[in-house]
Structure 1
Amino acid sequence: MEPLLLGAVIVTAGVFAFLNGFHDVSNSVATAVRTRALTPTVAVLLAALFNLVGALLSTSLALFFTDAGIGLPEGATGLGILMAALLAACLWGVLTWYRGKPSSSTHALLGGVIGAGGASQLTSGPAMSGAGETLLLQIVLPLLLSPVIAYVLAYLAVFPATWLLRHGSPARVNRGNRMAQSVLAGAFALGHGLQDGQRTMAVILLALVGSGYATGTDIPLWVQVFAAVLLTTGSLFGGWRITHTLGNRLVHMDPLRGMTAQGVSSAMLFIGAISLHLPLSSTHTMTSAIVGAGANQRFASVQRPRVVRILLVWLATAPATALVGAVFFLALSPLL
């Protein structure tokens, strides 16, 4: 039964990677499409390519997640927790895409893991031990702080950007900012691949380690390619509902502020993945940077009711997926 469950976890992880790319490609292309720096087709192709490169470029964050999940029970129970968490995260991703709301796939996955782990303990099964402090200090806090940092940095970055371009004509400034956006759209997609592409690798590696098929010190090449290809495939299909929300419904965005938001969020993803080895949500950083850059205008440009609704979705993500993950684990428990 355990090999069959392992195969199911790997397949579901592939679905999660596809939905991640489908759901989050909006973050890479929204501002560039909104300001007409890129056409939708070119933007999606560019994002998909750099998502693939980013996912294949590094595995450090995947190994970090594996270390953080060391308290996951071995055997069928651990696989059941991962299966329930993935199903909860996938369901939340589809729901938020349908509603056109940007949300964090990482928060959804973590919520599902916590809920399923709690349900395992509730049914007198093996409990997740030793991972609570690591999850809180090294994963949850960076994910919660990243929106605040992205908002503040994007708001402040508009000042030097405006000052540097103060002598240029509007047409020349907008043309230069659109060119910069074209480059930064690829940079952000690369950062997204570095960050979110490794979530799927981490889940599969945890499943392999728990089943005794891997050691956890290195990621098999097929796992890296599997996650990267499915993330890229999802990106190619694109979730335009969320692109419309980010590009048109949050703030009145001009090329300068679109460039600023992309630059800040791209830098945060790179620093988090390469320098600090910390997981950051591409959705949280880009959405917050868009709102921060858009708020730095002389007229009221932020659609506050929509921003509040998105914040409520973010706050609800982990509790909702924890509840759904617990329900899925209880449904799977007779098979474990």
Structure 2
Amino acid sequence: MTPLLLALVVALALVVAYMNGFHDASNAISTTITTRALKASSALWAAALLNTLGALLGMALLVMTVPWAVRLLGLGPIVEQLAARPDTLGAALLVLMLGTFLWDLLTWWMGLPASTWHAFFGTSFGVSLVIGTSAAWDRLGLMLAVSVVGPVISATVAYLLMQLILRLARSELLGPGHIRFAQTFSASTVAAGHGLNDARLPLAVVVIALGSAGADLSGTTTTVLMSTVAVAVGAGTLMGGHRIIRTLGRRLTDLTAAQGLAAESSAALTMSLGVFGLESPVSTSQALASSVVGAGVARGRRTVRWSVAREILLIWLVTPLACAVVGAALLGVVLELPGL
């Protein structure tokens, strides 16, 4: 892989990391801002810091090698097919990052929470078709299973937690002050978990690109690049994706502090199961949105605006297919460039 192509892949990976923080800032702070448990500025700064720390923690816990990155992203067939053509592999990585970025940008503009991971995997389907190789179905199958089961678990756990919180509140064992304090803690957990979970995607792309270019992954330069990915996620979070915050906090339901606590606690649990239990990427957007619905149903089905919930579900269903088309089209254009 030429130095220029490597630089482009790394730069676009950082852009995706920034966009991911911007797009998914709502996962950590939408509930605390809506319920006024924290001021918007304080919530954004706290979420940005915790996202960065979560990403750095992930770097410390993981052994970041090319095989790890390839397995995480399900890019085994693509990397094997293009092992002798590093520049074409670089072009494929560029397309994967660009397709993911464009989908995040579109769904942010629409104000709908969507999965960055699903956008990436969908784009990888399209790239696989153009290259003429199969997708890593075992890895992708696990991801799809988690994406189906995860929201159901999140909604169910949030519903049960909300019922428990309501009972404790009625018996005066849990007051508004306790709920707001606990909500701040649960939001912090989601923010750190988001950094740990989502920073791995651009980080793994950087690792594959560096490995293809023959770089020493244990060197200082690599460490600096990987730390920059973590900072980019935090910087994006600091900007805040307010369109999606409004959807989760006001359009989907009129969120209360108790609902926020139940939803965030449930989302944090689902993310933990995915990262540490199944070792599979989990959509933080899906985890929180489904948790908000589950907590809302616990207060009464009419508290949830089902038309908005259907819009969100439709975006989730469309994401893989739409991104596959985008990925195939983009790679077809890129491969027409001289030298590829």
Q: Same fold (TM over 0.5)?
A: yes
How do 1:52-201 residues align onto structure 2 when only pairs under 5 Å count? 52-59=52-59, 60=62, 64-67=68-71, 68-71=74-77, 72=79, 73-74=82-83, 75-121=86-132, 127=133, 131-137=136-142, 139-168=143-172, 173-201=175-203
How many angstroms does 1:147 deviate by?
1.2
How many angstroms does 1:8 deviate by?
0.8
Matched, 1:9 2:9: yes
Per the alignment, residue 276 of structure 2 pairs with 274
How many angstroms does 1:61 deviate by?
9.0
**C-alpha contact (below 8 Å) 2:153/2:270 kept by paired residues:** no
- Once the two structures are superposed, residues 282-301 of structure 1 have per-residue CA deviations (whole angstroms, 9 ceiling, x without a partner) of 10000000011111124611
Per the alignment, residue 124 of structure 1 pairs with none
Per the alignment, residue 263 of structure 2 pairs with 261
**C-alpha contact (below 8 Å) 1:77/1:120 kept by paired residues:** no
How many angstroms does 1:306 deviate by?
0.6
- Equivalents in 2 of 1:114, 1:220: separation in Å? 28
- Equivalents in 1 of 2:64, 2:238: separation in Å? 23
SS of equivalent residue, structure 1 residue 17: helix
- Give the fraction of aligned pairs with identical amino acids, expressed as a percent: 34
**C-alpha contact (below 8 Å) 2:113/2:285 kept by paired residues:** yes
Aligned alpha-carbon RMSD (Å) = 2.0
Cα distance change of structure 1 residues 62 and 152 upon mapping to structure 2, 3 Å threshold: farther
Cα distance change of structure 1 residues 61 and 186 upon mapping to structure 2, 3 Å threshold: farther
**C-alpha contact (below 8 Å) 2:18/2:234 kept by paired residues:** yes
**C-alpha contact (below 8 Å) 1:85/1:111 kept by paired residues:** no
**C-alpha contact (below 8 Å) 1:81/1:117 kept by paired residues:** no
Amino acid at match of 2:155: Y
Cα distance change of structure 1 residues 84 and 146 upon mapping to structure 2, 3 Å threshold: same
SS of equivalent residue, structure 2 residue 336: helix
- Equivalents in 2 of 1:61, 1:214: separation in Å? 14
- Equivalents in 2 of 1:77, 1:128: separation in Å? 17
Cα distance change of structure 1 residues 61 and 255 upon mapping to structure 2, 3 Å threshold: farther
TM-score (norm 1): 0.91
Cα distance change of structure 1 residues 128 and 258 upon mapping to structure 2, 3 Å threshold: same
TM-score (norm 2): 0.90
Cα distance change of structure 1 residues 45 and 86 upon mapping to structure 2, 3 Å threshold: same
- Equivalents in 1 of 2:318, 2:63: separation in Å? 25
Matched, 1:32 2:32: yes
**C-alpha contact (below 8 Å) 2:48/2:237 kept by paired residues:** yes
What are structure 1's unaligned runs of at least 5 residues?
A: 122-126
Q: How many residues align?
A: 325
**C-alpha contact (below 8 Å) 2:69/2:207 kept by paired residues:** no
What are structure 2's unaligned runs of at least 5 residues?
A: none
How many angstroms does 1:34 deviate by?
1.0
SS of equivalent residue, structure 2 residue 307: helix
**C-alpha contact (below 8 Å) 1:61/1:273 kept by paired residues:** no
